[in-house]
Amino acid sequence: MQLGLVGLGKMGANMRTRIQQAGHEVVGYDPRPEVSDVASLPDLVAALDAPRAVWVMVPSGEPTRTTVAQLAEHLEPGDLVVDGGNSKYTDDQPHAELLGRNKIGYIDCGVSGGVWGLENGYGLMVGGSDDDVTRMMPIFDALRPPGERADGFVHAGPVGAGHYAKMVHNGVEYGLMHAYGEGYELLCAEPLIDDVEGTLRAWTQGTVVRSWLLELLVRALQEDPGFSEISDYTTDSGEGRWTVEEAIRHSVPANVISAALFARFASRQDQGSPALKAVSALRNQFGGHAVTDTRGRSVGETGAPPTS
């Protein structure tokens, strides 16, 4: 089939390639003329045969909202828009309503797989009506991994369900990554372990903890032993925050995912942690604490036990 694709960045460009390799036609639009097939969004619409299908793959938030609003203006009844970005699920219903006023369909699709998706296929989580989803199945089938459709694709529910599922996916991803991170750190700290990278690599087959993320971790360590080139400054996309907010809304105890999120926050406090400054200040107030070494043993003067 024919697909319009808005956004030809790292993800969009790879997805275009994969869709084309499956035999579909893609007309791409991107504000950077050197990668774009058409000069403008109206040109994209004009270049497509009705009923059109347009996939939006631009940053979430304002850029996506603007793009959808423009499409609502230029598309026609019977056309269909897919938001494949990492939008917050609360944007989906407004998008569906805006487009629906012009009888344009709407699907939200969470896409996972990163730069590896071109080769491996992307995991897809979709929200929308049965009719709209059915209509897009050729594209979904082109994008998803080979093998059984259900292993890599789900029509999770109505509009919003796709981005919701993707948000939870990313929240889980936070937890998984941090669990491996803690294990890595503990292996590094223990003198008995001569071969940290080898230990992680051994875990990639046969063990309970084997996973694709673990394979990536081994690969990263092989490229940069000891992570000497890597900062511990870790950004976060919105999905981790949204996942914890949703956990709060639904009264779900999310201790693991929130711990992973908060660790990222802490990594960005370049002026130090105000909370820990308060703790330090308190200790000074009540104790004049003796200095202790990193094993918690008091190394203060004789006769001066740690006070508290």
Catalytic hit among 62, 103, 166, 190: 166
Cβ neighbour number for residue 200 with a 10 Å cutoff: 21
Select from 77, 78, 114, 225 the one that contacts its own copies (CB under 8 A). 114
- Interacting positions 183-222 with its own copies (CB under 8 A): 183-190, 192-195, 198-199, 201-214, 216-217, 219-221
Q: Least CB distance from residue 77 to its own copies, whole Å?
A: 26
Q: Under DSSP, is residue 97 helix (H, G, I), strand (E, B) or coil?
A: helix
| Residue 149: exposure state from Cβ atoms within 10 A (0-12, 13-18, ≥19) | middle
Catalytic hit among 10, 25, 119, 173: 173
Interface pattern 223-262 for its own copies (x via CB under 8 A): -x--x--xxxxxxxxxxxx-xxxxxxxxxxxxxxxxxxxx
Whether the upstream peptide bond of residue 77 has omega within 30° of 0, thus cis, is no
Select from 4, 105, 121, 128 the one that contacts its own copies (CB under 8 A). 121
Q: Under DSSP, is residue 9 helix (H, G, I), strand (E, B) or coil?
A: coil
Please say which residue, 37 or 102, places its beta carbon nearer to its own copies: 37
Residue whose structure tokens are 């270049």: 47
Q: Are residues 306 and 287 in contact, defined by beta-carbon separation less than 8 angstroms?
A: yes
Active site residue 88: no
Q: Could you give the strand order of the β-sheet that contains 153-157, starting from the edge strand earlier in sequence?
A: 25-29, 2-6, 53-56, 80-83, 105-112, 123-127, 153-157
- Interacting positions 130-189 with its own copies (CB under 8 A): 144-145, 147, 150-158, 160-161, 164-165, 168-189
Q: Least CB distance from residue 208 to its own copies, whole Å?
A: 5
Active site residue 277: no
Q: Catalytic amino acids? A: 166, 173
